[in-house]
Amino acid sequence: MPEGALPVLDVRDLKTVFQTRGGEVHAVNDVSFSLRPGELLGVVGESGSGKSVTMMSLLGLLPSPPAEVRRGSVQFDGKDLLHVSPETLRSVRGCKIGFVFQDPMTSLNPVYNVGFQIMEPLRKHMGMSKKQAALRSQELLELVGIPDAKQRLSDYPHQFSGGMRQRVMIAIALACDPQVLIADEPTTALDVTIQAQILELMKDLRDKLGMAVIWITHDLGVIAGIADRVIVMYGGQVVEHAPVNELFSNPQHPYTRALLKTIPTIHGERAPRLTIIEGQPPIMTGAPNACTFRDRCDVAFDRCARENPPRYDVGNGHDTACFFDARTGAPRDV
């Protein structure tokens, strides 16, 4: 991955709000990040932290209403995806940017065989004939490690195991040779053996195809093995961003440190109980005007209740949104 390469995807100040009966829910709050060619960016955080909503906002995949992308820019291929026509967005979605959803059983259509579902984007976006699309579909199933690919094209989703269905979803996402692949917790519902196979498959495909990948997960162990950089989300915001080795060796945000402590260890004496993060994630009924983690934080002080911290640069490509400086063990200067 070229270190100084221009981003293939650049997101700035993204804001997404849901209108509900109980009022507005501010699900994504001024999220900014970039993705370089060939890079794998990990996005981690608890359920409800805004990971999936952020990525679905980029491609117009949220129902509107109730969702509304209020501001921001998503620069891709010389265009701002938030301000293009629906036709242009459809030409990007599924073609130049692939999306692998969390649950393949609800994402695959049960009444069509998998061959038809892989062929559909090839014929729509690539202009292939039925014969060309069938050959390419077979190649894609072979690429993602499904045996007897030619015969399995005529099978339906219910005839595949969970791991095989996820491989089919990856094949569909890769059909048009996308520049970016977004994988939304694609291994969460799988057992650990199949999970390891899917992770190995994604690493191999990234090396072969040179595409950039965004991998959404709540599992820091997964991120440690595959990511180049990591962004940690909480309360719809990016609270920490760093190269993967830097994040694990030098976590700066109290939330990141708490997440790392919750990872169970298999070395040494057995711990009496697993570490948990006390409290619950916030319900964002308004734009954040204070630190969203302060009620669960062990280093919070009075400033945290008055202001929402910006992201501070701490060196080595590392930034964190916290008023407490973990390097000095004291609050930052005002």
| CATH code of residue 231 | 3.40.50.300
Residue 323 in domain:
no
pLDDT tens by residue, 290-303? 999 999 999 999 99
In the predicted structure, residue 330 carries a pLDDT above the cut 60: yes
Residue 299 in domain:
no
Domain match, 112 and 260 both: no
265, 283, 317 - which closes a domain: 265
CA distance 318 to 327: 13
Domain match, 35 and 75 both: yes
Q: What's the mean per-residue pLDDT of the chain? A: 90
Domain match, 86 and 231 both: yes
Domain match, 91 and 1 both: yes
Residue 281 in domain:
no
Domain match, 259 and 184 both: yes
In the predicted structure, residue 227 carries a pLDDT above the cut 50: yes
Domain match, 80 and 192 both: yes
Closest alpha carbon to 234 in 181, 301, 311: 311
Domain match, 167 and 151 both: yes
pLDDT tens by residue, 48-70? 899 999 999 999 999 988 999 99
Domain match, 62 and 208 both: yes
Pairing of strands 23-35, 9-20: antiparallel
Domain match, 249 and 162 both: no
Domain match, 189 and 58 both: yes
Domain match, 6 and 138 both: no
In the predicted structure, residue 138 carries a pLDDT above the cut 50: yes
Q: Domain tally for the chain?
A: 2
Closest alpha carbon to 45 in 37, 36, 54: 54
Residue 295 in domain:
no
| pLDDT number for residue 64 | 87
Is the Cβ–Cβ distance between 299 and 252 less than 8 Å? no
Domain match, 238 and 141 both: no
Residue 228 confidence class, pLDDT cut points 50, 70, 90: very high
Six-digit token string for 133: 């699309």
Mean pLDDT of 150-165: 92
Residue 270 in domain:
no
Residue 189 in domain:
yes
Mean pLDDT of 22-44: 94
CA distance 323 to 174: 42
Residue 214 confidence class, pLDDT cut points 50, 70, 90: very high
Six-digit token string for 8: 């293939």
Give the residue numbers spanning the domain of 162.
106-175
Stronger pLDDT, 246 or 145, i.e. the higher one: 246
Q: Kindly report which listed range (9-13, 27-31, 283-287, 305-309) carries the lowest average pLDDT score.
A: 283-287
